[in-house]
Amino acid sequence: DRTTVAIVGGGPAGLLLAHLLHRRGIDSVVLESRPRERVESRQRAGILEHGTVDALREVGADARMDEKGLPHDGFAFHVHGERVHVDMAELTGRAVMIWAQTEVVKDLIALRLEQGERLLFDTEVLAVEKVDGPLSRDGEALVRYRSDDGAEHELRADVVVGADGFHGVARRAVPDDAVRTYERVYPYSWLGILADAPPSSDELVYARHENGFALLSMRSPSVTRAYLQVPNGTDPSSWSDEEIWDELATRTALGDGSFTLNRGPITDKSVTPMRSFVAEPMRHGRLFLAGDAAHIVPPTGAKGLNLAVADVRVLASAIGAWRESGDESGLDAYSEVALRRVWRGEHFSWTMTTMLHRAPDADPFDEQLALSHLRLIAESTAYRTSIAENYRGVPLAGEH
């Protein structure tokens, strides 16, 4: 079996890449290790940058997003009971969209299957091989996989894209001495909930309290999504619904008593650890890494999906140029162009995370720094604009 681009991983990065390539007339096969139901039910982040929305429009995955997504012009910080509003639309002329990653993935899968293009679920990639060496059209790279019926197969490809997440196999095909990694692990996690409760405000609230971080988000006019900072290793079932609501109320309260929390039945609870990670370069020979396979951000600011989408936009046009005219310059520049935006996302996610969380060893000095940081956002339009620009998403290198 043979294809032009073998895409390891059927998350948002792999699926969107397959669509962007298809639009350029380039054949690909997407191999996903999990069953379709699992891919479509995992709760992930929910904020799409403007450029991410554009990319979904480009491939025709925008109908449900336009019907049910919630455009947001701004968001608020609540730090030690003080509130600061960031009016993104006014400051940057751009908004973001609340539309869950789960829903994005459902639409990309449905569209792919409708087109009759290849997307294999329950398919475990065993090895990515023969990626060393120059680009060629001879199908020299090799992906070995086990299909859902247990049989082993070989797929030959001109290039392989590793979009199989942080724990994926693709990155392991790169020899240790050909990659440099950067990493930070945080001393806290997020307890995330979904609840049948109308959002407590029209916009998202990012809060810091001496008990730690809280975030109020939403999935629809009747569903709240919220997060609490908890110690690493926390068992989600150790928090009762009432304890969760009480703690969300405590951490998001305003000093003047003007904020009230809507409560309702909690339908999902899970705990997510937090990590920053970058592997560079994002290319080794005929293998290109994209999304979480190459980089991870802590969730604060919701950059993970958006960075993955930016990667595959760069990659799709570079592969397109190479197939069309033999021009390899886009593929040669891929890692550098993508990493420039990745590091902006790393810095922004780290800034939002450290400003808003309380480290286990935090002291009053840290609390004063967080409060001063908030007041800087409130008092400096220049600084607030910078936060807004990062939140709504920065252009790719060379884009304006």
Catalytic residue list: 72, 206, 299, 303, 391
Q: What is the dihedral of CA 356, 360, 366, 371, to 10 degrees?
A: 30
Closest distance to ligand DHB from the beta carbon of 213 (Å): 10
Q: Backbone phi, then psi, for 335, in 5-degree steps? A: -60, -45
Residue 339 as a binder of ligand DHB (CB under 6 A): the answer is no
Structure tokens at 46: 């929910």
Q: Kindly indicate which of the ranges 146-154, 280-288, 299-307, 338-346 contains the residues binding ligand DHB, using the contact rule CB under 6 A.
A: 299-307
Phi-psi region of 355 (alpha: psi -120 to 50; beta: other; left: phi over 0): alpha
112-143 b/e (C-beta count within 10 Å ≥ 16 → b): beeeebbbbbebbbeebebbeeebeeebbbbb
Task: Please select the residue that binds ligand DHB; options are 12, 162, 285, 299, rule is CB under 6 A.
Answer: 299
**Count residues contacting ligand DHB (CB under 6 A)?**
11
Task: Please select the residue that binds ligand DHB; options are 14, 46, 74, 345, rule is CB under 6 A.
Answer: 46
- Asked if residues 89 and 95 have their Cβ atoms less than 8 Å apart, the reply is yes
Residue 11 as a binder of ligand DHB (CB under 6 A): the answer is no
Q: Provide the CA 399 distance to its chain's centre, in angstroms.
A: 21
Structure tokens at 43: 């709760």
Residue 96 as a binder of ligand DHB (CB under 6 A): the answer is no
Residue 353 as a binder of ligand DHB (CB under 6 A): the answer is no
Name the residue nearer to ligand DHB (CB basis): 280 or 292: 292
Q: Hey, which residues between 171 and 210 contact ligand DHB (CB under 6 A)? A: 204
Q: Kindly indicate which of the ranges 42-50, 242-250, 332-340, 355-363 contains the residues binding ligand DHB, using the contact rule CB under 6 A.
A: 42-50
CA atoms of 5 and 30, how far apart (whole Å) = 9
Task: Please select the residue that binds ligand DHB; options are 92, 217, 276, 390, rule is CB under 6 A.
Answer: 217
Residue 349 as a binder of ligand DHB (CB under 6 A): the answer is no
Residue 388 as a binder of ligand DHB (CB under 6 A): the answer is no
- Asked if residues 142 and 130 have their Cβ atoms less than 8 Å apart, the reply is yes
* Angle, helices 329-356/364-379, rounded to nearest 10 degrees: 120
Task: Please select the residue that binds ligand DHB; options are 47, 96, 230, 388, rule is CB under 6 A.
Answer: 47
Name the residue nearer to ligand DHB (CB basis): 6 or 216: 216
* DSSP letter, residue 237: G
Closest distance to ligand DHB from the beta carbon of 237 (Å): 21
DSSP secondary structure of 109-121: HHHHHHTT--EES
Name the residue nearer to ligand DHB (CB basis): 74 or 301: 301
Residue 76 as a binder of ligand DHB (CB under 6 A): the answer is no
Query: Tokens 């286990």 identify what position?
Result: 360
Name the residue nearer to ligand DHB (CB basis): 263 or 286: 263
Closest distance to ligand DHB from the beta carbon of 217 (Å): 3
CA atoms of 298 and 55, how far apart (whole Å) = 23
CA atoms of 166 and 152, how far apart (whole Å) = 24
Q: Is residue 264 within a helix (H) or strand (E), and if so which, with residue range?
A: none
Name the residue nearer to ligand DHB (CB basis): 86 or 318: 86
Please report, as ranges, the residues that interact with ligand DHB according to CB under 6 A. Answer: 45-47, 204, 215, 217, 225, 299-302
